[in-house]
C-alpha cells in the first residue's frame, strides 16, 4: 500500500483502546503528535500545567514514603507483573512504537523486549540489594553498609527509545523503593500513555493479589520544556535521569548540581569503529550496516565514524557503498524495510546541513538524498549517507542524529586510537579485528575512552545486562544492568558497638 493511503490515526486509536487508554487522553488537547511514517497527525494530547506537575510530584513523594516500607522482593513482584503485562502486549506496544517513532517492526518489538528484559533483571535484583560488611579496626564492633530508597526519581526520555529508556530507569528505581515521575519526549507521548496504562494494569493485579502499592507510584507528565524544568528544580526529586542531547544535559546538569541533586545523564554519542587489516570483512560489513543505518541512524549508539585501515579500505568501502545504495527504505511497518523515516523535518534539515558542511570540508558524499517524497510529502525518508572524509574535521566531530557515516582511512594503530578518542563524546565504540593485541589494547586503559567498547560487533544494540552510558559529553551516567541500581539508592555506613567499652577510631583518647 502506498504510504499516503495509510490510516495510522485509526490504528493508533484501536491499539490505545485495547491497552486501556481512553480517547480523551489523546484527543482535543494542545500537543499534536505526528507519525513520521506519514507525517500526519495521530493524536492531540492535553498537557500538564506547572501546577498539575507539582501536584503529581507531591503525589509521587507521598507514594515514596509508603513504598519504601514494602520489602524489596515484594516490590519486585510488581515489576514481575509489569513484565507479564509487557509480554502480553508486546505486539501492540511494539507496533505503536513503530508508528510513533518510525522504527521497523523488529526494532519496535525489540524495544519492548528490552523492557521485558529489564523487568526480569529488576525482579532478580529486588532480592540482591546487597551492602558489604567491612572489617572494623575496633574490637566488638561491626561495620556495614546498607542501601536505602532515595525518593522520587525523575525520568526524562528521548523520542528514539520512547519507552525502553523509561523502563531501564523505572524498573530499577521501583524495586529500589522509589517512586517515579516520567516526562517523555513531546514527540512520543502516545507510547508513554500506553506504557503508563500497562503499569496501571500491573498495579491492579498486584493489589488484587494482596500487594501494597500506594497511588501515584509512577506518574506521567505530558508537556514541553517548562514542565521538565519543574521536575528538574523540585526539591522533592533527589535524582533525575535524563536522556537526550548534550545541549539538554548542559541545561539539566547544572540545575541539578545547584541544589545538590543527583543526575544520570545519557547524552550524545559520536560512536566509532576501527576496521583493522585482519578484520573479517563479511562480518564487518553486516556489523557496520546495522550500526550505521539501523533505526535510520537515530540511536545514541549509532555508528557515525568509521576508521578503515588502508590495506582493506578498497575492499570494504565499495561493498559498503553498494549496501548503502541498495538498502530498502520505506514504510517501516512493511516486512523487508530496513530503514524507516527520520523523526521530522528538523532532523532532515540538520542532516542536509551536516552533509553540506562535510562537502565543504572535502568530503565525498554518496546518498543522503530525500526518498519517497512523492508518496509521503509530509514525511522525511532519506537514503543513508556514506561520506568519505579526508580527515576528522568539521561535522565529523558533532553528533548529527541521522544516518550519516563518515569513513576515514588510517595506517597506524596508535594514531587511530588517538583519533578515535579525539571527539567530545564518549558513549560507544568498537573494533573489528582478529589481532589479539589490537583487540585487547582497544579494551585496555589506553584504548577506547567510551562507556561501551566492543570487539567484532558494532557499537549499537547493547543488552540490558551491562551498565549503559558513556563518558565526557555523553554525561557519565549509567543505567540498566550491572550495579547501575546503586545510583537509585542512598548508601549508609553503619557502625555498631556490641561491647562495653568505647574504643575510638584512629586511637584517639578522649576520657572525660
By CB under 6 A, residue 461 contacts ligand UN1:
yes
45 by DSSP, 3-state: which? strand
Shortest CB 155 distance to ligand UN1, Å: 13
Query: At its nearest, how many Å lie between ligand UN1 and the CB of residue 160?
Result: 5
- Write down the least CB distance from residue 256 to ligand UN1, Å: 20
Q: How far is the CB of 9 from ligand UN1 (least distance, A)?
A: 27
Q: Give the angle 153-150-451 at the CA atoms, nearest 5°.
A: 65
Catalytic option among 77, 100, 266, 399: 266
* Site membership for ligand UN1, residue 89 (CB under 6 A): no
Q: Is 243 in the site for ligand UN1 (CB under 6 A)?
A: yes
Cβ(443)–Cβ(456) below 8 Å: no
Stretch that binds ligand UN1, among 40-48, 173-181, 460-468, 497-505 (CB under 6 A): 460-468
CA distance 479 to 49: 29
Q: In the set 26, 64, 161, 313, which binds ligand UN1 (CB under 6 A)?
A: 161
Among 299, 304, 305, 409, contact with ligand UN1 (rule: CB under 6 A): 299
Report strand pairing: 303-309 vs 404-410: parallel
In the numeric block, the cell 509521503 is attached to 376
Q: Take residue 85 and report the three cell numbers written for it.
A: 503485562
Rounded least distance, CB 165 to ligand UN1, Å: 6
From residue 168, give the alpha-carbon distance in Å to each of 259, 271, 304, 358, 468. Answer: 25, 21, 25, 36, 9
Half-sphere exposure of 363 (CA within 13 A, CB side): 29
Cα distance between residue 17 and residue 21, in whole Å: 5
Instruction: Say how many CA atoms lie within 13 Å of 481 toward its Cβ.
Output: 14
Binding map of ligand UN1 across residues 104-123, x = CB under 6 A, - = no contact: ----------x---------
> CA-CA distance, 67 to 79, in Å (whole number)?
13
Judged by CB under 6 A, does residue 168 bind ligand UN1?
no
> Which listed residue (57, 93, 202, 300) binds ligand UN1 by CB under 6 A?
300
- Could you tell me if 308 and 319 are in contact, meaning their C-beta atoms sit under 8 angstroms apart? no
Indicate the residue among 144 and 443 with the shorter CB distance to ligand UN1: 443
- Has 397 been annotated as catalytic? no
Which is nearer to ligand UN1, 43 or 470 (by Cβ)?
A: 470
Question: Alpha-carbon distance 150 to 4, whole Å?
Answer: 49
Contact by Cβ (8 Å): 417, 431:
no
Stretch that binds ligand UN1, among 22-30, 172-180, 225-233, 459-467 (CB under 6 A): 459-467
Q: Which residues of the shown chain bind ligand UN1 in the complex (CB under 6 A)?
A: 114, 160-161, 243, 299-301, 460-462
Active site residues: 266
Amino acid at each position: 500500500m502506498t504510504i499516503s493511503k495509510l490510516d495510522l490515526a485509526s490504528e493508533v486509536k484501536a491499539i490505545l483502546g485495547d491497552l486501556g487508554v481512553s480517547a480523551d487522553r489523546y484527543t482535543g488537547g494542545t500537543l499534536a503528535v505526528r507519525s513520521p511514517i506519514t507525517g500526519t497527525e495521530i493524536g492531540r494530547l492535553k498537557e500538564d500545567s506547572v501546577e498539575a506537575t507539582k501536584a503529581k510530584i507531591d503525589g509521587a513523594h507521598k507514594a515514596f514514603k509508603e513504598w519504601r516500607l514494602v520489602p524489596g522482593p515484594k516490590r519486585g513482584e510488581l515489576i514481575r507483573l509489569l513484565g507479564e503485562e509487557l509480554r502480553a502486549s508486546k505486539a501492540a506496544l511494539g507496533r505503536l512504537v513503530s508508528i510513533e517513532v518510525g522504527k521497523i517492526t523488529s526494532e519496535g518489538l525489540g524495544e519492548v523486549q528490552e523492557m521485558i528484559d529489564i523487568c526480569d533483571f529488576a525482579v532478580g535484583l529486588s532480592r540482591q540489594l546487597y551492602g558489604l560488611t567491612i572489617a572494623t579496626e575496633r574490637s566488638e564492633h561491626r561495620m556495614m553498609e546498607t542501601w536505602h530508597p532515595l525518593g522520587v526519581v525523575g525520568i526524562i526520555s528521548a523520542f528514539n527509545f520512547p519507552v525502553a529508556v523509561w523502563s531501564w530507569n523505572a524498573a530499577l528505581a521501583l524495586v529500589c523503593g522509589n517512586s517515579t515521575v516520567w516526562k517523555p519526549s513531546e514527540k512520543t507521548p502516545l507510547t508513554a500513555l500506553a506504557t503508563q496504562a500497562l503499569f496501571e494494569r500491573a498495579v491492579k493485579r498486584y493489589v488484587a493479589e494482596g500487594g501494597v502499592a500506594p497511588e501515584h507510584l509512577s506518574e506521567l507528565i505530558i508537556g514541553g520544556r517548562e514542565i521538565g524544568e519543574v521536575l528538574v528544580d523540585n526539591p522533592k526529586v533527589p535524582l533525575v535521569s535524563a536522556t537526550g542531547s548534550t545541549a539538554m544535559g548542559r541545561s539539566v546538569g547544572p540545575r541539578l548540581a545547584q541544589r545538590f541533586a543527583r543526575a544520570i545523564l545519557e547524552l550524545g554519542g559520536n560512536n566509532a569503529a576501527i576496521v583493522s587489516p585482519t578484520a573479517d570483512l563479511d562480518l564487518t560489513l553486516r556489523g557496520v550496516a546495522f550500526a550505521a543505518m539501523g533505526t535510520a541512524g537515530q540511536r545514541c549508539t549509532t555508528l557515525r565514524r568509521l576508521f578503515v585501515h588502508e590495506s582493506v579500505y578498497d575492499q570494504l568501502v565499495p561493498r559498503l557503498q553498494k549496501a548503502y545504495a541498495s538498502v530498502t527504505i520505506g514504510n517501516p511497518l512493511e516486512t523487508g524495510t530496513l530503514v524507516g523515516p527520520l523523526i521530522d523535518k528538523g532532523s532532515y534539515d540538520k542532516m542536509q546541513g551536516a552533509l553540506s558542511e562535510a562537502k565543504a570540508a572535502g568530503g565525498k558524499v554518496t546518498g543522503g538524498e530525500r526518498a519517497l517524497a512523492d508518496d509521503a510529502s509530509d514525511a522525511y525518508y532519506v537514503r543513508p549517507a556514506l561520506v568519505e572524509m579526508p580527515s576528522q574535521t568539521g561535522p565529523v566531530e558533532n553528533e548529527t542524529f541521522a544516518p550519516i557515516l563518515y569513513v576515514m582511512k588510517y595506517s597506524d594503530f596508535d594514531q587511530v586510537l588517538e583519533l578515535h578518542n579525539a571527539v567530545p563524546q564518549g558513549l560507544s565504540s568498537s573494533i573489528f579485528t582478529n589481532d589479539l593485541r589490537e583487540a585487547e589494547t582497544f579494551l585496555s586503559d589506553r584504548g577506547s575512552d567510551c562507556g561501551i567498547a566492543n570487539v567484532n560487533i558494532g557499537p549499537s544494540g547493547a543488552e540490558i545486562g551491562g551498565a549503559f552510558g558513556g563518558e565526557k559529553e555523553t554525561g557519565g551516567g549509567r543505567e540498566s544492568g550491572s550495579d547501575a541500581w546503586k545510583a537509585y539508592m542512598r548508601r549508609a555506613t553503619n557502625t555498631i558497638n556490641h561491647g562495653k567499652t568505647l574504643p575510638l577510631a584512629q586511637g584517639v583518647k578522649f576520657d572525660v
